[in-house]
Amino acid sequence: MGASALRRAQRIAWRDGPVVGQLVVVGAGKDDALVRRLQDVVRARVRRTLDRSAWDALLARVAARGGRADASTAVQAFSLAVAPLPGVRVPKGPKGSIPEGTLAISWVLTNYGRLTPGVRQAFDKAVRHAFGLSGHPAAGGAKLDAIKAQASRSRASRPASN
């Protein structure tokens, strides 16, 4: 694209609530149907993103990774659905509707080996508390270890994905 084409570029700006958008158009006018359609698509995508809850954002991130949560997403989901974990910042926006914490717990268990010792300790404590295992730390610890071992075995028995 040459310098002369860039000089003919047009800026199309709009405001939609707190968001200001801008498209730079080269080779088409502001009234071109394709430009209007592109502007509508961008506006709709921005609205969907702004309206998305924090939980929906995490689910979308996992879906984009083929249904597998990475460690960062897992601890964010747990912090949102079950209990805050140290040093974990959840996505901005309204919390959203979270039916229960099982999914978040399973994601953390899948990534348990990638967590820092402090996050592991906080996770263990929160899970013991959530399952009523906090009254007897030794027994609760053994039950939690059994749950983690079961999660590890089920992961090992799954076929590897490409």
Q: What is the DSSP string of 39-104?
A: HHHHHHHHHHHHH--HHHHHHHHHHHTTT---HHHHHHHHHHHT---TT--PPSS-------SHHH
Where along the chain do its domains lie?
Answer: 3-51, 67-157
Q: Residue 162 — pLDDT band, cuts 50, 70, 90?
A: very low
- Average confidence (pLDDT) over 6-16: 77
What pLDDT does 9 receive? 80
Determine whether 85 is exposed, middle or buried from the number of CB atoms within 10 Å of its CB (0-12, 13-18, 19+). buried
Q: What is the pLDDT of residues 90-138, one digit of tens each?
A: 988 888 889 889 999 999 999 999 999 999 999 999 998 888 876 655 5
What pLDDT does 100 receive? 87
Would you give the distance in Å from CA 115 to the centre of its chain?
17
Greater confidence (11 vs 51) lies with 11
Locate tokens 């914490």: which residue?
Answer: 101
- Whole-model pTM: value is 0.61
Greater confidence (77 vs 162) lies with 77
What pLDDT does 15 receive? 81
Greater confidence (44 vs 69) lies with 69
Name the range with the highest mean pLDDT among 15-29, 46-60, 141-155: 46-60
Q: What are phi and psi of 112, to 5 degrees?
A: -55, -45
Question: What's the whole-number average pLDDT of the chain?
Answer: 81
What pLDDT does 161 receive? 44
Q: Are 87 and 117 in contact (CB under 8 A)?
A: no
